[in-house]
């Protein structure tokens, strides 16, 4: 049996379209801090999304995965905030959250757009989509903001 050694990561050639060096990736994500009060499951997912964005310097497609991952964190928190969420699909959670005033119309619109991208990828219909970091960072930032707002709105006991 032969073993193949993977090469050390090298910057994706497209990385230099948005930053000069890997160190600059830190600047792109430095404001993506998970606030206290976020459930650990969602916090872990948000931290992973942030790291995927940083690593997109080496693997450009990670920026798209970061967006999909950040939506998982929002879904976790929505399930926690919406009564009787159970196993309802995300589109129903978004609608119910908007109807109940848990989500603003703009947040619901953002989440539905992300949900459609995620659905297309999960079902193999959007396999070629690579979201540039310049587009992914604001989307992940919005997920962080929505999670922060939803968790801040929960009454403390």
Distance separating alpha carbons of residues 125 and 98, to the nearest angstrom: 27
| Cβ(144)–Cβ(70) below 8 Å | yes
Would you give the DSSP letter of residue 15? G
Q: What is the phi/psi pair of residue 48, to 5°?
A: -65, -40
Q: What's the pTM value of the predicted model, to 2 decimals?
A: 0.88
| Cβ(136)–Cβ(63) below 8 Å | yes
Give me the pLDDT at residue 119, please.
85
Q: What is the pLDDT along the chain (157 residues), one digit of tens a residue?
A: 678 888 889 999 998 888 999 999 999 999 999 999 999 999 999 999 999 999 999 999 999 999 999 999 999 999 999 989 999 999 999 999 999 999 999 999 999 988 988 888 877 776 666 788 888 999 999 999 999 999 997 654 4
């Amino acid at each position: 049996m032969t073993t193949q050694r993977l090469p050390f990561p090298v910057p994706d050639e497209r990385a230099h379209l948005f930053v000069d060096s890997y160190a600059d990736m830190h600047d792109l994500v430095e404001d993506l801090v998970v606030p206290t009060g976020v459930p650990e499951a969602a916090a872990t997912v948000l931290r992973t999304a942030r790291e995927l964005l940083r690593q997109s310097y080496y693997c450009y497609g990670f920026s798209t995965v970061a967006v999909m991952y950040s939506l998982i964190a929002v879904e976790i928190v929505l399930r926690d905030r919406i009564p009787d969420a159970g196993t309802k699909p995300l589109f129903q959670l978004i609608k119910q959250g908007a109807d109940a005033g848990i989500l603003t119309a703009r947040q619901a619109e953002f989440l539905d757009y992300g949900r459609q991208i995620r659905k297309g990828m999960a079902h193999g219909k959007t396999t070629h989509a690579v979201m540039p970091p310049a587009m992914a960072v604001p989307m992940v930032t919005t997920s962080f903001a929505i999670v922060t707002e939803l968790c801040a709105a929960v009454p403390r006991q």
